[in-house]
A and B are shown apart, each in its own frame.
Chain A
Amino acid sequence: MKNNVVNVALVGNPNTGKTSLFNQLTGLKQKVGNYPGITVDKKHGKCKISDTLTAEIVDLPGTYSINPQTLDETIVLETLLNKDNDSYPDLIIVVAEVENLKRNLLLFTQIKDLQIPTILAINMADQMNRKGIDIDVELLKQELKTEIILISSRKNIGIDNLKKELANYKNWNTEPSAKISEKIDAAYFSDLEAKFSENSLYKTWLLITQQHYCHFLTKEQNTKIDIVKKDAEKIKKYQHKETIFRYQLINDILKKTYKVDKATATDLRSKLDRILTHKIFGYVIFATILLLIFQSIFEWASFPMDLIDVVFANLSELAKDNLPPGIFTNLIAEGIIPGIGGVLIFIPQIAILFLFIAILEETGYMSRVVFLMDKIMRKFGMSGKSIIPLISGTACAIPAIMASRNISSWKERLITILVIPFTTCSARLPVYAILISLIIPSERVLGIFNLQGLTLMALYLLGFAAAISSAILLHHILKIENKSLFVIEMPNYKVPSLKNVFYEVVEKTKAFILGAGKIILALSIVLWFLASNGPLKYKNAEQFVPSLEENTTVSNEVLQKKIASYKLEHSYIGYMGKTIEPIIEPMGYDWKIGIALISSFAAREVFVGALATIYSVESEGEDVGTIKQRMAAEVNPKTGEKRFNFASGMSLLLFYAFAMQCIGTLAIVKRETKSWKWPILQLTGMSTLAYIVATITYTILK
């Protein structure tokens, strides 16, 4: 028999275990894609539900209502209302959770009223006994006019029953569960129904109330809606009435079908809350957790990072040795392989950080942090919800900026996005490491602190300080109406599910690879091209350099290095470096550092590799020792002093701390803010700041 595919949408409140159910149903067959036109990640996967039926399941973002508050939530509305989208569901699974059934049912009744076949899956049913909850499922089915399956997605209970029922979707009752019209204004709504006879009444109502989110509407449809939309006050009032009416209905139903024996309910939640949101202990605990996270990132990530570095250096060598010499081999060995390595090297840090964040979110602790930090963050024009993006920024700004999507106030979200690149991301670390080891003596202060370590810590703090101060500045400059709709759920504490944490880490890491990886790789190839090609002088280097008088006596090895060095100087990128030399001179840099600065636009850490090439050191893996020695020996011809002395070194450190040198980030800011204005502001603002600070530093210290 033919195997039919049906589209299934998974809808539910956050914290209902919806994603856990998705993971159970699809396993590793899930994919992350994009919704057309918008850039929110779309998680989808296949699941076989019977011999003849396969479900293409979409995990829609968690939402409390079909009326969206945040960017993620608009996806739910668009997917369910726009019949022409690829994911328009043949059937919907609404996931609810036993403990918060009342609130979960609000969303259910909204979805059910769309008159798409809908089933209710009540999750965490295994905990009913422990929590003293009793549900009369049969009666609830009748009242809500729906099929109901009790499941426990974490313990894999009820999933088979759910699949069996899904196969039967054509026989489900598609009557609306709430007839909103009768209770509010029967005449008004029957008029609407007549005017928009092509849609179900509730869909018409949503198109009217949420018109500005429905980008799929045609011009004609919009005009038609505009006509009935004149009385905005009335519509708003009816929306409120609708919600109150839905809750009344749900209350009445639950009175008959849902019982909680309060004596059985445990009190772990309030005990934990008392400690974790305490005005002193709360912050102490949060600070300790942060410290542990950063500590672990450094401890655990260094080994795999070194490994990736060595493996890719060897791969390059291997490619050079085994492929026939020529431009194509050079492209692979010097462009593509180091490019891929430059992307992969960040994965350990990013994965470990998101592992911790996923665990903290899964347990329910993150909401407490948001609660504790909200007022403080608001003084800086941000929200308590900005904490997660700002912490994520210490790994990579790209997933961090994407994590800002659940901030509902546009101003708070925008400020968060704009200041994230100041936090010290993992790409800055290799640059900091080599510069610090060059200019800061490895001495101990007060007997215990290593001066180099302290400098690194100071740079981290400087990053946060820069983020906070620019946020304050933006808070006062940006004239954006700040409609704060800060309502967050404080979910119950849970033991994190390893499976969910695993998928979350995989997803975030993928987001980085797809978002930043492509750009880093592409730019690495462009830079390779610019560095290995040039006008006439570049092409004649092989003949010209050996003919110089000073080179007649040197060994072949030295000669080769001199040729390489001469080639670089006369390559396209060499000319670019020389062009910007007058501009960067006030900061204490020459054209060679200029090349490294330009190269850093792929990713900051390319700075180290670029300098390695420039000082004609054959880069053999992580051979910092040699690069360092060469850098230390470099002399500024004008002053006769060392090129990398304390003044220019500090100036470079501060330049890297402040400058916006990451095209991947700029691209993602453009995507998330849907405008070139903000990434351009970021680029000019941060780079100007970096230039001024670095110039002042160099002038004072030299």
Chain B
Amino acid sequence: MGDTIATLQIGESGIIEDFSLDLIPLCLLEMGCLPGKEVRLIQIAPLRDPLYIKVNGSHLAIRKEMADQINITKL
């Protein structure tokens, strides 16, 4: 299994790989979470969910189930 946003440690960054467009909701793309963009994990809520990330200039919180779907290459 490759890395996803959910496997990042706090403070780590990665580059979003091409993802299957079917799995990712449009609203996440619209918030700036796009292939090729750098994503950094800022904070994880207790119980390891949701995740607070910075991607493409936006600060977002997403649930783990969504983060699991987004493959990345760790930096």
Contacts and interface: CB of A to CB of B under 8 A. Distances in A.
A273 B57 contact: no
Contacts of B22: 236
Contacts of A247: 29, 32, 34, 56
Contact of B50 (A64, A374, A491): A374
B50 A375 contact: yes
Contacts of A638: none
Contacts of B50: 371, 374-375, 384, 486
Given A64-B30, A64-B31, A102 B56 contact: yes
Given A240-B29, A370-B61, 8 more contacts: A102-B32, A103-B31, A240-B21, A240-B24, A243-B26, A376-B47, A485-B28, A489-B61
B58 A65 contact: no
A487 interface: yes
Nearest to B43: A277
Contacts of A102: 32, 56-58
SS class of chain B's interface: helix, strand, loop or mixed? mixed
A511 interface: no
A437 interface: no
Interface in A484-498: 484-492
Contacts of B30: 64-65, 67, 106, 243
A372 interface: yes
A606 B67 CA distance: 51
A270 B47 CA distance: 21
A67 B34 CA distance: 17
Interface string B51-73: 01000111111110110000000
B37 to A, nearest CB: 9
B66 to A, nearest CB: 7
8 contacts: A100-B57, A103-B58, A236-B21, A243-B29, A270-B42, A277-B43, A277-B52, A487-B28
Given A64-B30, A244-B29, A237 B63 contact: no
Contacts of B65: 484
B45 interface: yes
B45 A239 contact: no
Interface string B4-47: 00000000000000000110111111111011000000110111
Interface string A64-80: 11010100000000000
Contacts of A367: 61
Interface residues of A, number: 39
Given A273-B43, A487-B66, A64 B52 contact: no
A130 interface: no
A277 B26 contact: no
Interface of A: 64-65, 67, 69, 100, 102-103, 106, 236-237, 239-240, 243-244, 247, 270, 273-274, 277, 279, 282-283, 367, 370-372, 374-376, 384, 484-492
Kindly state the interface size class of chain B when it binds its partner. Answer: 20 to 34
Nearest to A67: B26
Contacts of A103: 31-32, 56-58
B57 to A, nearest CB: 5
A240 B26 contact: yes
Given A69-B27, A243-B30, A374 B63 contact: yes
A69 B58 CA distance: 18
Nearest to A99: B57
Contacts of A236: 21-22
A486 B48 CA distance: 15
B49 interface: yes
Given A102-B57, A370-B61, A487 B34 contact: no
Contact of B63 (A240, A486, A492): A486
A65 B29 CA distance: 10
A491 B63 CA distance: 17
Contacts of B49: 374-375
Contacts of A239: 26
A485 B69 CA distance: 13
Contacts of B31: 64, 103, 487, 489
A11 to B, nearest CB: 15
A485 B50 CA distance: 12
B63 A64 contact: no
Contacts of B45: 277, 279, 371-372, 374-375
Given A102-B32, A487-B66, A65 B27 contact: yes
Contacts of B35: 244
Contacts of B29: 240, 243-244, 247
B64 to A, nearest CB: 8
Contacts of B66: 484, 486-487
A555 B25 CA distance: 79
